[in-house]
Amino acid sequence: MLKTIQGWWRREEGAQQRPELTLAITKLMVGMMSMDGKIDDDEQAEIVKLLGEQFELTTEESSKLIEQARDTSRADLRIDLVVDQIIDQYNVEERTAMLAKLWRVAMADGNVAFLEEQYINRISGLIGVPSDALAELKARQEDNFPELDQSGRFQHPDPVKN
């Protein structure tokens, strides 16, 4: 009986463990990469580049993190645990800088889709980045990509037909 209770306790503890910070950030980037329904090589390359810049990871280490972040069976990668980890580790300015990286992932394929726009808006709210800071960072990032295709950015991909 005691072993059964201990087993329940350990499973409950494991279900609440937060992911390592690098994995939490990678999870958000992979989420952005997946928003438009396809895994784009340019977006994945941007994630590898950003992880290398921020955490001094090799391409191989970054690729392993991306694979781990794509594992949907991991309890530690639930969005609430990822968000909690980021809020605890970063101040608002650092969280805003992290959102800029997510936006770079979205723009890496030269196109910003409606669902990518919605994803970054949702994540910014969850991690407590003010809307004015989000708008400013988007504008700055868009200035860096003047040929960005934004034609699908504000249109839902499946509009309701009358």
∠ Cα 71 66 157 (to 5°): 80
17: tokens are 């463990």
Give domain status of residue 157, yes or no: no
Domain count, the chain: 1
Domain CATH code at residue 109: 1.10.3680.10
CA 134 – CA 99 distance, rounded (Å): 8
23 falls within a domain: yes
Distances (CA, A) of 83 to 5, 14, 126: 30, 17, 7
Please tell me the pTM assigned to this model: 0.80
Q: Which residue has the higher pLDDT, 6 or 83?
A: 83
Segment 82-135, tens digit of pLDDT: 999 999 999 999 999 999 999 999 988 888 889 999 999 999 999 999 999 999
Residue 9 lies in a domain: no
Structural domain including 115 reads: 19-144
Judge whether 14 lies within some domain. Answer: no
